[in-house]
Structure 1
Amino acid sequence: MTLLDQNIDLKRFPTTPGVYLMFGDQDVILYVGKAKNLRARLRSYFSAAGDGRGQIPFLMNKVRRIETIVTDTEKEALILENTLIKKHRPRYNINLRDDKTYLSLRLDLREEFPLLQTVRKVRRDGALYFGPYASGSAVRETLKEIYRIFPLRHYPVETCRRRGRPCLFYQIGQCSAPCHGRISREDYRQLVQGVIALLAGRETEVVGVLRERMATAANELRYEEAARLRDQIRAIEATVERQKVVGEGGGDQDVIGLHREGGEIEIALLFIREGKLIGRRSYLQPWCLEDDELLSSFLREYYARDVVIPGQVLVPLALSDAATLEEWLSERRGRKVQIITPQRGDKLHLVDLAARNAAESFRERGSRRTARREVLADIQERLHLQRLPQRMECFDISNVQGSHSVGSMAVLMEGEPAPAAYRRFRIRTVEGADDYASLREVLLRRLRRGLEEDELPDFILIDGGRGQLGVLTAVLEELGLEGRIDAAGIAKSRVVANMQGKMVERSEERLFVPGRKNPVLLRGGSPTLFLLERLRDEAHRFAIGYHRKLRSRATIRSALENVPGIGPERRKALLSHFGSVRKLRQAGLEDIAAMPGLPRSVAEDLYQYLKDSDGD
């Protein structure tokens, strides 16, 4: 019996702002929404026309009950809705599956000699942030140009001061070596101000100042310094010439474009910084929400992350809750944010550009989707699978001489990595280097949970040969899943000698499937083999990363066991505070002493211990 079959008294719902939660079977939250008037919003779900969204009939057939949470204001409802969506990840809410954040550059002016850091999280910590940058290569290119023009330091001051001489970057002119007194604090601050102006897009201002300094140096016969300033000016002008200017007047803006086709909607997000287009990002949403609500949901979901929030967000249509969103965004940014629906001029042209990008992204995504489905169909045919492997999972085990054994699970959805679905497992029941037993533990934990949550893969790939595949098939039989989940093992290529024993050859990757004696060989370089290798490599990379993290924690524990005053709790606190042994070793005495709860005398003993053991 569905909720629509019941007699629902809509009058019992309040008319105040708040959040409503729709529950399905087993009290699973299916949808979370906010409303200025809860009763009026819920009434639209029960009207004959519905609320116009394509997924609502599917949703309402599964809803068993509705709960509401009243708030004082619409903004409080917005914040609560974000919190509940992030916590429960309801199936029918908008879901930005690609949760990777772009890189930004961080500059903290409170430091004696500020340095540029690449970060993924933008925090309200008093530092300056610039970006976002579309890729690591874009950041590296930006930093390369900056260090050539303004040679800021690259490493922590204390680390460099422990060296007997300035680092290699100083030798090639990309560091001013403040750690060894090669530049005064005042001159270094001038470099920092130049970096800020350059990253903020004020190139004309920077060039003007540098030209004045070049002329002064030339008049005072300091020709070497004048030549260096001339080279800086040329580098800036060459950098600016490569950038595409898309708007007049500068300013930081995020521009949203929409493209709807075939029951799906593509959202393109353009990053405009000081009038320059520096990056693009796109998201595909399968549900046909009303454009107003979908766009509002997208803005809430995207800007709830640790991202740079610009002064203006340009949108293609007016939003009913624009004022609430502006207030919320302004609080998150710490300065005023405007949500603008342009009607004419340059801003409208930017929104049109974003819409064209959304259409192009949808077209490209469709081509990629067709190609991926062809590869998935080939995998199904070549490995004799029962169904199309739309969700593929791969498992790997990692340990070093039996210590810190871990397992990993990588996931491909429709042929694309789904990092949010990756999982890692710390082996609990196996002692020593027993990969088979460790694999069995990981598989049982994953599949039992999958049965409880009704989320199972179509196909499991095991990194290994017949032995590992045997473990997988035994687990599937034990859980009664052999008819629901296909399985295969992928064994790395082997190096073999030819018949004469002189020439060494490398065999192809071998794929083992249950019930077949000989392995399946796929053509080297084929898209099918590449996809399976990619899945295997992702699982291996994820396992190695987790294993290194555990080893790092163990290393810091063992490294600090001989330091007086450092017990288990303080070792744990140090790891949590500094993040790694490497960062702890690079920290200065004042950095260590500043850690909450650590006495000064213990900090001094720890600093001296790390300094003495640095060369061990």
Structure 2
Amino acid sequence: MLAGDGSVLYVGKARDLRARLGSYFQKRIDAVKTRALMARLAGVQTTVTSDETEALLLEQALIKELRPPYNILLRDDKSYPYIRLSVEQTFPRIAFHRGKRRAKSRYFGPYPSSGSVREALNVVEKVFRLRNCTDSFFSNRTRPCLQYQIKRCTAPCVGLVSEEDYRRQVALAIDFLDGRDGAVTDALERRMAAAAEALDFERAAELRDQIAAIRLVQQKQYVDTDRGDVDVLAVLARHGIAVVEILVVRQGRVLGHHSYFPKVRPEDTEEDVLDAFLSQYYLGDRGDLALPAEVILDRPVGGLETLAAALREARGRKVRFASTVRGERLAWLRMAKENAEQSLIGKLTSRDNINQRYAALARLLDVESPPARIECFDISHTGGEQAVASCVVFGPEGAIKGDYRRFNVSPPQGGDDYAALAEAVTRRYQRMAREGKALPELLLIDGGKGQVGAVIAALALIDLAALPVLGISKGPSRKAGLEVLHHGDGRTFAPTADDPALHLLQQIRDEAHRFALTGHRARRGKARSASLLEEIPGIGPRRRQQLLNHFGGLQQLRNASVESLASAPGISRSLAESIYAWLHD
């Protein structure tokens, strides 16, 4: 799709080009991105290919070359880092490497990040004590350096280790980096036994420490001897930012993870992001990218058969895609999801991102400078019971968690969020005013006109009517990006879905909701646990607490047998039978 000046706006493919193009020329187009694209569209060029695989390869080549603004673009295309072992030298050096590879050296990887390489190097240096110094430093030494003193090198530079012994350590390091940990430990155990038999106990102790270090590394890995070369992908999109997290597993060993932040638009779903990412990542012109035998995805994606066929044609390698896994693969997938969550949180809370969003908020509210302190309230309850109000605080530096507060609120009528908000706001700001603490420059409420009106009325009763109040409510469809803002002065406006100010308000609102929900669940669980145990004859407050502490919670207490209950401190066999009968009958 071309603009008026001939530049490319968008590249796409389809089995039926007529149907695909016809979908763009409709009277009603809901997607904002598509409407913006059609407003700039001046012409269309098509290329007919022989099959879907050829179309996919062509699409990715054009996206890589032309970088169209309306495609989801993969922006990070740096070369991958490796571990280099200079086996061509008499005393090989092990080091970090990125870039062009030399013919005679051994390379291990690729690793997903430089941190993963340095972590692996740290283990290899500790266990196998290979040199990491430059050749010029090595050739000019007259005495051992600090690496030898801290037992991370055997000092081949000054002849403290023979070439044969050093080569033996190099061979073990190669086996270790290739994933043959079992062979390494077996060889070390044989050498340790031989050293002990020869009464060389100092050498045997060194070998024992090497084996222990390797065992520790093995315990930290999810080992799978079947298909051990795996990429695990998880995608997460929130508040205008998307992240694709790749966990790299080679020979059953997790080498690390890498985060990619594709350029996306508000209408792009997580499935859209992952779909676009897969083809660009695996079909891109990355000569240093080693394809795995299997790619695990955190959700089903269409067109994977076509992508697998394209990889076989372009890279000569068969790759299996899966989204339903179990065992170690499920553990890897959970790890990828957790890292995606952390990466997204880090991106959202980065100073550059926060500053940009605060500046956009000032423009949205039509004020000279952004509010230096924003406090947001939300209410959480179940059917009106055990209601909890949360207050979270944000500033230009991000979340100020030390100032977060929760309030157990009891409105006259259960489920009355208006009264609950009024109670929480009154308690919060009466105390702050009494203690002379700084008040917020913007009070954000999760709710619409009703909630904003209740809060303004409560503030007026404590002489704080001048405090700026802003409500954020979900639109008629309740989709993210379609929120409506309600200003305390009566104004109502709806920012665009890609407005950084809206993304900031969504982030603060969601944090208030999370904080209220966790507080409510804790209060509800405590109340239910206490009320159930209070009814058991012969169980007082102290013994109730001892039981909960001993078993770790009410659910674990319910699952306990009579014998387990009788083994708890202060519980006799007869009392254990009474507790068991009460919990189960």
TM-score normalized by the length of structure 1: 0.49
Are 1:68 and 2:46 matched, yes or no?
Answer: yes
Q: 2:574 aligns to what?
A: none
CA deviation string 1:344-365 (max 9, x = no partner): 5553554455445545544554
Separation in 2 of the partners of 1:24 and 1:155? 55
Are the structure 2 counterparts of residues 376 and 49 from structure 1 closer, same or farther at C-alpha, using a change threshold of 3 Å? closer
What residue in structure 2 maps to residue 88 of structure 1?
66
Aligned to 1:270: 247
Counterpart of 2:6 in structure 1 is 27
Instruction: Choose which of 319, 339, 348 in structure 2 pairs with 1:337.
Output: 319
Encode CA deviations 1:499-520: one digit per residue, 9 max, x unaligned. Answer: xxxxxxxxxxxxxxxxxxxxxx
Aligned partner of 2:233 in structure 1 is 256
Question: Residue 9 of structure 2 aligns to a residue in which SS?
Answer: strand
Distance 2:249 2:148 in 1: 34
Selected match of 1:104 from 60, 82, 85: 82
Confirm or deny: 8 A CA contact 2:222 2:328 kept in the other structure: no
- Cα distance in 1 for residues equivalent to 2:72 and 2:102: 26
Deviations 1:184-241 (A, max 9, x none): 5554443233223333444343222211111011212333322221221233234445
Tell me, what secondary structure is at the counterpart of 1:297?
helix
Tell me which moved more, 27-36 or 68-77: 68-77
1:231 equivalent to 2:209? Answer: yes
Instruction: Return closer, same or farther for 1:47/1:365 CA change in 2, 3 Å cut-off.
Output: same
Partner of 1:197: 175
- Verify the 8 A CA contact 2:362 2:370 in the aligned structure 1: no
- Once the two structures are superposed, the pairs formed by residues 373-452 of structure 1 within 5 Å of their partners are 373=356, 376=359
Q: Tell me which residue corresponds to 2:535.
A: none
Change (3 A) 1:341 1:187: same
Native 8 Å contact 1:373 1:415 kept in 2: no
Deviations 1:329-385 (A, max 9, x none): 46777754322232555535544554455455445544558743465479999xx98
**3-state DSSP of counterpart to 1:175:** coil
Match of 2:576 in 1: none
1:139-183 per-residue CA deviation (whole Å, 9 max, x = no partner) reads: 434323311211223245576335556655456543345566655
Secondary structure of the residue aligned to 1:272 is strand
Distance in 1, Cα, partners of 2:175 & 2:362: 53
- Are 1:160 and 1:167, in contact at CA under 8 Å, matched by a contact in 2? no
Asked if the contact 1:253–1:310 (Cα under 8 Å) also holds between the matched residues in 2, the reply is yes
Runs of 5+ consecutive residues of structure 1 not aligned to the other structure: 1-21, 389-413, 417-616
Q: Are the counterparts in 1 of residues 76 and 260 from structure 2 also a CA contact under 8 Å? A: no
Aligned to 1:7: none
1:347 aligned partner, one-letter code: R
Q: Which amino acid aligns with 1:147?
A: E
**C-alpha distance in 2, partners of 1:111/1:74?**
49
Contact 1:311–1:338, Cα closer than 8 Å, also in 2: yes
Cα deviation for residue 91 of structure 1 reads: 0.9
Instruction: Report the residue type matching 1:313 in the other structure.
Output: V
Q: Determine if contact 2:129/2:154 at 8 Å carries over to the other structure.
A: yes
* Partner deviation per Cα, 1:16-51 (whole Å, 9 max, x = no partner): xxxxxx21132221112344554554344346787x
Residues 103-122 of structure 1 mapped to structure 2, 5 A cutoff: 103-107=81-85, 109=87, 113-121=91-99
For 1:213, the aligned partner's letter is R
Distance 1:61 1:47 in 2: 13
- The verdict on how the C-alpha distance between 1:280 and 1:63 changes in structure 2, with shifts beyond 3 A counting, is same
Partners of 1:331 and 1:224 in 2: CA distance: 56
Counterpart CA distance in 1 for 2:309 and 2:94 is 31
Name the SS for the 1:94 alignment partner.
coil
Distance in 1, matches of 2:327 and 2:361, equals 50
1:124 and 1:298 mapped to 2: Cα distance?
A: 31
Note the alpha carbon deviations across 1:483-536, whole angstroms, 9 max, x for none: xxxxxxxxxxxxxxxxxxxxxxxxxxxxxxxxxxxxxxxxxxxxxxxxxxxxxx
| TM-score between both structures, scaled by the size of structure 2 | 0.51
Distance 1:301 1:359 in 2: 22
Q: What is the distance in 2 between the residues matched to 1:188 and 1:323?
A: 48
**In the alignment, which of 121, 127, 137 is matched to residue 149 of structure 1?**
127
Contact 1:121/1:307 (<8 A) preserved = no
The gaps in structure 2 that reach 5 residues or longer are 372-395, 399-585
Distance in 2 between residues matched to 1:277 and 1:307, nearest whole Å: 14
CA contact (8 A) 1:104 1:119 kept: yes
| Alpha carbons of structure 1 residues 167 and 346: separation in structure 2 relative to 1, 3 Å | closer
State the match for 2:329 in structure 1.
Answer: 347
Matched, 1:372 2:355: yes
**Residues 103-182 of structure 1: pairs in structure 2 closer than 5 A:** 103-107=81-85, 109=87, 113-121=91-99, 127-130=106-109, 132=111, 134-136=113-115, 138-157=116-135, 160-161=138-139, 163=141, 169-170=147-148, 172-177=150-155
| Within-5 A mapping of 1:298-313 | 298-303=277-282, 304=284, 305=286, 306-313=288-295
Aligned-residue offset at 1:61: 1.9
1:251 aligned partner, one-letter code: G
* Alignment-mate amino acid for residue 372 of structure 1: N
Contact 2:231–2:249 at 8 Å: present in 1 too? yes
Change in 2 beyond 3 A, CA 1:337/1:127: farther
Paired residues in the alignment total 365
Residues 246/175 of structure 1: CA separation in 2 closer, same or farther (3 Å cut) = closer
Cα distance in 2 for residues equivalent to 1:47 and 1:99: 37
Corresponding residue for residue 506 of structure 2: none
User: Does the 8 A contact of 1:312 with 1:338 survive in 2?
Assistant: yes
Distance 2:346 2:161 in 1: 51
3-state SS of paired residue (1:29): coil
Q: Is the 8 A contact 1:245 1:277 kept in 2?
A: no
| Structure 1 pair 355–155 and aligned structure 2 pair: CA distance change class (3 A) | closer
